[in-house]
Structure 1
Amino acid sequence: MKFFVYMGSFSCMSLYWFELENIEISLLLYFFSLLGFWGSLVYYNSYLNDITFPKQANSVSAKGYTMGYIGSVNYY
């Protein structure tokens, strides 16, 4: 799981130096950041069975997605 998290994080951070002349490298970094994100979600979702009972899995999953959306809101 760490591999996917670090791959996605470093690829996304390297996009800070994006320039239009290097579009191929930037697209490659974007691909690796997506691969890292989706690869780490496989592990995150597999932990649901370890932290909850089967009857509560749907509720816990919904609360997790809700908290993620609430946390992504930026107030200015």
Structure 2
Amino acid sequence: MIDIKIGFVDSARDITVTTSDDRETVLAKVREALERKEGLLELAQEKGQLLLVQAQSIAYVQIGESAHGRVGFAVN
């Protein structure tokens, strides 16, 4: 699972989406959407919903491993 945080131009709010796509697939989708001036970023969410975001409104995208389901203490 991958967590994706998307920040928007002229907005203090962001959204976080969890997807079952791998990191490279998500990164390719983000790059493709941002390369096209009027493109859409399409992300399939974990629960089957489809999220569509106008690429021109994206300020930043943060991609990371999902921490869902982790319980307990970490030992290094």
Give the structure-2-normalised TM-score.
Answer: 0.30
Q: Which has the higher helix share?
A: 1
Q: Which has the higher strand share?
A: 2
Larger radius of gyration: 1
